[in-house]
Structure 1
Amino acid sequence: MAISGKISVEFEIQVPATKYFNILTKEFHNIQNICERVHGANLHQGDDWHCTDSVKQWTCLIDGKVITCKEKIEAIDEEKKSLSYKLFDGDVGENYKVFNMSVQLSETNNECALVKWSIEYEKINEDAKTPYAYLEFLEKGTKEVADHLLKA
């Protein structure tokens, strides 16, 4: 069994890439009000939800279990519409030495976007699960936000 690896999922949403990227970079604090799987989020450290210096505390429902973790934005690339995050502490820290997520958005046409989420991980030990449930959480959450944007 692999201790470290990288997994990803790619899918299309019916929202322009720029509009969805704006949620991630300018309105991330609202995700907890949009996604039913996000039970709570707060700014743990820093003054701004949308910068690389801040740390957020999350409580989410993943694979039927309420988990907690902290998250920090590692990099934002406006031009490429990509973000990378580091997750740590809480349930994530109990199972993974390294847990990095990234999202890449690209336009498929003026009304749709291709979304690619990736997770790079290193397990604490072989008993920790490969984080497929986290990938499923990201895909379902992305689609839920996209549906919300379509109604707005």
Structure 2
Amino acid sequence: MALSGKLSIEIVMHAPAGKFFNLATKSLHDVQNICERVHHTKLHQGEDWHSIGGSVKHWTYVIDGKVTTCKETIESIDENNKTIKLNLFDGDISQQYKVFKLTIQEIDNSNGSVSAKWTLEYEKISDNVKAPYGYLEFYDKIFKEMDAHLLKA
């Protein structure tokens, strides 16, 4: 059984182009006020929520019905490709995974629609750990809440 893998989900957006990427890169701290499964976020280290590598955020959220915690840093932001790469670590994540990286991308589709793609790259600490499929369901749920919020904004 493979210890590492990659999972992704792509969801069509209803909010105008650019709004989702703006939320992910400049207002991520607001997610706790938008999404039911995100219970709490706080700046653990650093002065700015959105600095690359310089800030560490602490997240408390629900995966598979269980309250889960982790820390997160931004690895990179690509404005041209509307992509943000995050590294998740510590807390419950580190008990199951050596590597847990999330890439979020806003995609302009050829048919004029816009999608959000969430890609999760992981390495399990052992064969006994399941692939993080619960995270795909989590990202699907919070994306829909974020999209609905952005439609109203």
- TM-score, structure 1 as length reference: 0.95
Amino acid across the alignment from 2:135: Y
Amino acid across the alignment from 2:13: I
Q: Deviations over 1:65-91 (max 9, x none)?
A: 000000011000011100000000000
**Structure 1 vs Structure 2 CA RMSD:** 1.5
Q: Report the equivalent of 2:46.
A: 46
Q: Report the equivalent of 2:36.
A: 36
Alignment partners' CA distance in 2, 1:109 and 1:50: 30
Q: Report the equivalent of 2:2.
A: 2
Three-state SS of the structure 1 residue aligned to 2:33 is helix
The 5 A counterparts of 1:112-151 are 112-151=113-152
Give every structure 1 segment of 4 or more consecutive aligned residues whose post-TM-superposition deviation is greater than 4 Å.
109-112
CA distance change for structure 1 residues 57 and 139 in 2, over 3 Å: closer, same or farther?
A: same
Three-state SS of the structure 1 residue aligned to 2:130 is coil
Alignment partners' CA distance in 2, 1:146 and 1:112: 14
Q: Which runs of 5+ in 2 are unaligned?
A: none
Q: How far is the alpha carbon of 1:136 from its aligned partner?
A: 1.4
Do 1:99 and 1:121's aligned partners in 2 also have CA atoms closer than 8 Å?
A: yes
Do 1:15 and 1:112's aligned partners in 2 also have CA atoms closer than 8 Å?
A: no
CA distance change for structure 1 residues 89 and 10 in 2, over 3 Å: closer, same or farther?
A: same
Alignment partners' CA distance in 2, 1:118 and 1:106: 13
Amino acid across the alignment from 1:142: F
CA distance change for structure 1 residues 111 and 144 in 2, over 3 Å: closer, same or farther?
A: farther
Q: Does 1:12 align with 2:12?
A: yes
Do 2:16 and 2:151's aligned partners in 1 also have CA atoms closer than 8 Å?
A: no
Amino acid across the alignment from 1:47: E
Alignment partners' CA distance in 2, 1:150 and 1:64: 27
Do 1:15 and 1:111's aligned partners in 2 also have CA atoms closer than 8 Å?
A: no
More displaced stretch, 103-112 vs 41-50? 103-112
Amino acid across the alignment from 1:42: K
Q: How far is the alpha carbon of 1:109 from its aligned partner?
A: 7.7
- TM-score, structure 2 as length reference: 0.94
